[in-house]
Amino acid sequence: MLYMVEMIVRIPHSMDPKVVDEIKGREKAYSQQLQRDGKWRHLWRVVGEYSNVSIFDVASNDELHTLLNNLPLFPFMDIKVKPLANHPSSIVQE
């Protein structure tokens, strides 16, 4: 199942920069592993914002919830999830 996920990151400015760097390092490693595993298919930065738009390919709502919940930055994110379906005019069908 394909999902479009919008993530807006809101790290408190008062947080220790060393802690922020450590969390970001874990986030990068985790997200890159999900990409290598084929679960996180696409990842785009939103220009001018600390946010991204991503496409996930997972088996279920529960799997997506677990993957997102395990993101180290999850406690600092506003997330919107939209399930995707094939469009009849698309020449590529997933």
Q: What does pTM read for this prediction?
A: 0.91
- Domain limits for position 73: 2-84
DSSP 35-94: HHTTSEEEEEEPTTSSEEEEEEE-S-HHHHHHHHHT-TTGGGEEEEEEEE---TT-SS--
Question: Does 93 score more than 80 pLDDT?
Answer: no
Mean pLDDT, rounded, for 45-71: 98
- Asked whether the predicted pLDDT for residue 58 surpasses 90, the reply is yes
CATH code for the domain in which residue 71 is found: 3.30.70.1060
Asked whether residue 94 carries a pLDDT value surpassing 90, the answer given is no
> How many domains is the chain partitioned into structurally?
1
51 within some domain: yes
| Residue 1, pLDDT above cutoff 80 | yes
Predicted pLDDT at 92: 80
Whether 29 is covered by a domain: the verdict is: yes
